[in-house]
Chains A and B, each alone.
Chain A
Amino acid sequence: MKRELNVNHLSRVEGHGAVDIVIDGSALKEIRLRFTEGPRFFEYITRERLYTEIPKIVSRICGICYVSHRLASSMAIEDAFGVEVTEEIKLLRKLLIVGEYLESHALHLYFLALPDYMGYGSAIEMAKDYPNIVKRGFAIKEVGNRIMKTIAGKTVHGENVLAGGFKSIPEKEQLERIRDDLYGIIPELKATLSLFDSLNYPEANSPHNYELSLKGGHFGSLCEELEISDGTVFTKREYEFFVEEEVSPYSTAKRSTIKGKAFLIGPLARVNRALDSYHPSVKEEIKKLKNALPSSNPFLSNLARAVELLEAGFLGIETVERLLNAYPFEPEVPLEPKKGEGYGVKEAPRGTLYHRYAFDENGRCIGANIITPTAQLQAVIEENLASLVEKDLHLPDSELKKRAEMLVRAYDP
């Protein structure tokens, strides 16, 4: 008997995706994850534009992780022009990343993922029975948004994140407010971690061929080396030699592999690697969890996000204290365009992100390549979906579809 399962419009994911599953008798015949998002040709619309335009344009790749695209492109431009920003600018960038993660992870956990585990179709429905849980999600998001608004100028696509640094820095009082906000949400972040530890995650132990992250796996890292779980460390310049991209016959996102194989990126890959580097209080909380980390269960990406949220809280406090000690400081370093190529890597909330640009002597872009987390996740999600479906073949169609959706959502592609 042939079964065909199609989820044509994945809901509660950013962007547009679909899953096709074909089962023949007791065997899985085919699995396809299709991203049907319209193409926007970012590698082409950046061409012939001045370097000053690039972070602004690529910011628009993603409304949730715009900070990542702006920083990766800014760092690539600095790399091309041979400029190093100051320690203070790096710290302010780090605080901005904390804001980005608080917003993005809280949005994903509370509004996209949690309804699945609580048995609702949306957070809006859930709010009727669990108003305080939804409000907690809003409260964490709000702090993240306020940090981004304060530093970047706007919550989404803040224009004050540029190559060379910033045009202005926040007032001292604003930084103090951020510090107080962060102290205020630590209990909420701890509660989030216990909530996401208490959920019933489906079993799915599909060891990944490889896991990839920035070296050390810390989400707030501005390091320029990458690390594969087999121990290989490589530089940002070598990225395209390790991560190979090909055009997919059915998806508008390209498909990437490492050494011919699918690989895991994102919160779980990072947390698996970074456990030892976290703040002592975070380590303390991790010890209390009933789920074990590191893990190869992709559903636990949600728990990994909750771990990173708590770490974001503590990292934010530490960073803002250091900024207050250094206050006031120069917002930017001068840039002098020159001919050449530059590279930028960053851990975006969904996974490792790579930008490369080539510039002419006037600083006009003559070539670009951007490898997004979504593209790198396509292959690994398909692989995980296949093992999930094979294990759960006996389930009725509706249940199997639901599981498949939850799995894709756990990746938040």
Chain B
Amino acid sequence: MVRIGIMGLTGCSGCQCEILNCQEALLKMLKRVSINFFPLAQDDNSLEDLDILFVEGSVTTEEDERKVKKGREVSSLLVAIGSCACYGGVQSQRNDEVSLTEMVKAVYGEKGVPVKVSKPRAVSEVVEVDYELPGCPLDKKQFVYTVASLLSGVKPFFPKIPVCHECKLSENECLILKGIPCQGPVTFSGCGAPCTSAGVGCQGCRGNCDFPNFEEMVSLLTQRGLSVEDAVKFLKVFRGYTAKEIKVRGVVDEKGA
């Protein structure tokens, strides 16, 4: 039996719920794996000697850091699941705008918060990560594919091509051409473009694709009514520490020069 663990740090538990949503696949999986650590779903949990550990959530508290370091030590493979674990999550979108003290004071007042906290970090900023399954939440199919691949001794592989690719395959009309703010061109595909298929622009929850052209992206967004500032904030929501790749220097002017 392959021993797996599923750990939650600071997040919304949405990825762990998506894993439970795998239902039939999960029941099949249980023939080959034993779940040794999954506090959300079971009582007896042992964080020892694991083959694969899935980690959800950002590293925000001292306890998160201790847990993920221990998890790294005891597991042969560590897979970060969801955009909190991969990039820092929505909670990290203002990391570069304000200080931690300011945030604590604004929400909890002078008394502060009763646990030791740092600015939210991605798991890879704290320990070595073998694979990342981004998305908010992670994609179920990618989770099942990853487990199936690892069980068969194959490395899971995810091409970092933009969401536009899958959006086209879904035969959607381009939302950007319709004037709807959409991050498809700079976002890592693998979700099957469900948001654009519902008529909502891609929100960038899966992070950067390879070679994202943020300058052009910001320019397209500003031509559709957003200010540069709002466009950058829109792009930053899920990208966490990878948002530093967003460059707005020399934003293309009206003439497209």
Does B219 have its Cβ within 8 Å of any Cβ on chain A? no
In angstroms, how far is the closest chain B Cβ from the Cβ of A161?
A: 9
- Residues 50 to 86 of chain B near chain A (Cβ within 8 Å): 57-58, 60-61, 63-64
Subset of 28 A-B contacts with CB under 8 Å: A36-B63, A38-B63, A38-B117, A39-B60, A42-B91, A44-B102, A45-B103, A47-B94, A48-B233, A56-B203, A57-B237, A60-B12, A60-B14, A61-B12, A63-B12, A66-B14, A111-B41, A121-B44, A138-B23, A142-B23, A149-B194, A155-B18, A157-B137, A158-B198, A159-B195, A160-B200, A247-B113, A254-B108
Q: Return the CB mask of B19-45 against A: 1 if under 8 Å, else 0.
A: 011011001001000010011111111
Instruction: Choose the segment among A6-14, A197-205, A284-292, A381-389 that binds chain B (4+ C-beta atoms closer than 8 Å).
Output: A6-14
- Whether B230 sits at the interface, judged by CB under 8 Å, is yes
- List, in ascending order, chain A residues with CB within 8 A of B8's CB: 15-16
Contacts A38-B115, A41-B91, A53-B233 given; indicate if A64 touches B17 (C-beta within 8 A).
Answer: yes
Interface residues in B95-120 (C-beta closer than 8 Å to A):
97-98, 102-104, 106-109, 111-115, 117, 120
Pair A122/B58 contact, Cβ less than 8 Å: no
Q: What is the bound-complex CA distance between A107 and B20, given in angstroms?
A: 9
Q: Please tell me if the beta carbons of A154 and B194 are within 8 angstroms of each other in the complex.
A: yes
B117→A45 contact, CB < 8 A: no
Among residues of A, the one whose C-beta sits closest to the C-beta of B41 is A122
- What 4 A-B pairs are tightest by C-beta distance, nearest first? A63-B14, A38-B10, A122-B42, A38-B60
Give the complex CA separation of A251 and B61 in angstroms: 13
| Cross-chain contact B43 with A11 (CB below 8 angstroms) | yes
Quick check: is B93 within 8 A (CB to CB) of the other chain? Answer: yes
CB of A248 within 8 Å of the partner chain: yes
Partner of B194 from A53, A66, A123, A153 at Cβ < 8 Å: A153
Q: Residues of B within 8 Å of A, CB-based: how many?
A: 68
Per-position binary interface string of chain B over residues 105-148, scored 1 when its CB falls under 8 Å from any chain A CB and 0 otherwise? 01111011111010010000000000000001100000000000
Nearest CB on A from B135, distance (A): 9
Chain B nearest CB, measured from A172 CB (Å): 16
Contact status B27-A111, CB under 8 Å: no
Tell whether, in the assembled complex, residue A44 and residue B106 are in contact, meaning their CB atoms are under 8 Å apart.
Answer: yes
Closest to A332 in B: B199
* Contact partners of B90 in chain A: CB under 8 A: 40, 45, 57, 60
In the complex, whether B15 has a CB less than 8 A from a CB of chain A is: yes
- Tell me, in angstroms, the Cα distance from A236 to B120 when the chains sit together: 33
- Give the distance to chain A from B139, nearest Cβ to Cβ, in Å: 9
B114 and A249 within 8 A (CB): yes
Interface residue A50 (Cβ < 8 Å from any Cβ of B): yes
Contact assessment for A160 and B199 in the assembled complex, using a CB-CB cutoff below 8 Å: yes
Alpha-carbon gap, A64 to B94, bound state (A):
24
- A141–B109 alpha-carbon span in the complex (Å): 39
Most buried by B among A14, A40, A127: A40
Let me know if A168 is at the binding interface, CB within 8 A: yes
CB distance from A393 to the nearest CB of B (A): 24
Which residue on B lies nearest to A369, using beta carbons?
B107
Q: In the docked arrangement, what's the CA distance between A48 and B233, Å?
A: 9
Given A53-B233, A63-B15, A160-B200, A121 and B114 touching (CB < 8 A)? no
State in angstroms the CA–CA spacing of A156 and B18 once bound together.
7
Please provide the chain A residues from 143 to 176 with a CB less than 8 Å away from any CB of chain B in the complex.
145, 149, 152-160, 162, 166-168
Provided the pairs A153-B198, A167-B198 are in contact, do residues A127 and B203 lie with their beta carbons within 8 angstroms? Answer: no
- Tell me how far the C-beta of A219 lies from the nearest C-beta in chain B, rounded to whole angstroms: 19
Q: Interface on B for A, CB 8 Å cutoff?
A: 8-18, 20-21, 23-24, 27, 30, 35, 38-45, 57-58, 60-61, 63-64, 89-91, 93-94, 97-98, 102-104, 106-109, 111-115, 117, 120, 136-137, 194-195, 197-200, 203, 205, 226, 230, 233-234, 237
Q: Which residues from B are CB-within-8-Å of A79?
A: none
Query: Is the CB of A87 closer than 8 A to any CB of chain B?
Result: no
Contact with B along A113-128 (1 / 0, CB 8 A): 0010000011111010
Report the Cα distance A34→B134, complex, angstroms. Answer: 30
> What chain A residues lie within 8 Å of B103 (beta carbons)?
41, 44-45
Chain B nearest CB, measured from A43 CB (Å)? 5
- For residue A250, CB closer than 8 A to chain B, the reply is yes
Closest to A145 in B: B21
Residues in B neighbouring A11, C-beta threshold 8 A: 39-43, 45
Q: Which residues of A contact B136 (CB under 8 A)?
A: 60, 157
Do A12 and B42 have beta carbons less than 8 Å apart?
A: yes
Are B108 and A39 in touch, CB under 8 angstroms?
yes
B84 to A, closest residue via Cβ: A60
Flag whether A229 is at the interface (Cβ < 8 A): no
List the A side residues contacting B203 at CB < 8 Å: 56, 159
When C-beta atoms are compared, the residue in chain B nearest to A131 turns out to be: B27
The residues of A that contact B44 with a CB separation of less than 8 Å are: 121
| A248 touching B14, Cβ below 8 Å | no
A252 within 8 A of B: yes
CA distance A43 to B200 in the complex (A): 24
Q: Say whether A160 contacts B14, CB under 8 Å.
A: no
| Residue contact B18 to A251, C-beta cutoff 8 Å | no
Chain A residues in 8 Å Cβ range of B57: 38
Q: Do B42 and A15 have beta carbons less than 8 Å apart?
A: no
Contact of B113 (CB < 8 Å), options: A15, A39, A156 = A39
- Whether the Cβ atoms of A252 and B200 lie closer than 8 Å is no
Q: What is the CB-to-nearest-CB distance from B119 to chain A, in angstroms, rounded to a whole number?
A: 10
A251 CA to B108 CA, complexed, in Å: 11
A321 at the interface (CB under 8 A from B): no
Q: Which residues of B contact A166 (CB under 8 A)?
A: 198
B16's closest neighbor in chain A, by CB?
Answer: A63
Shortest C-beta distance, B192 to chain A (Å), equals 10
Residues of B within 8 Å of A157, CB to CB, are 14, 136-137, 205
Establish whether residues B108 and A247, one from each chain, have CB atoms under 8 Å apart when the complex forms: yes
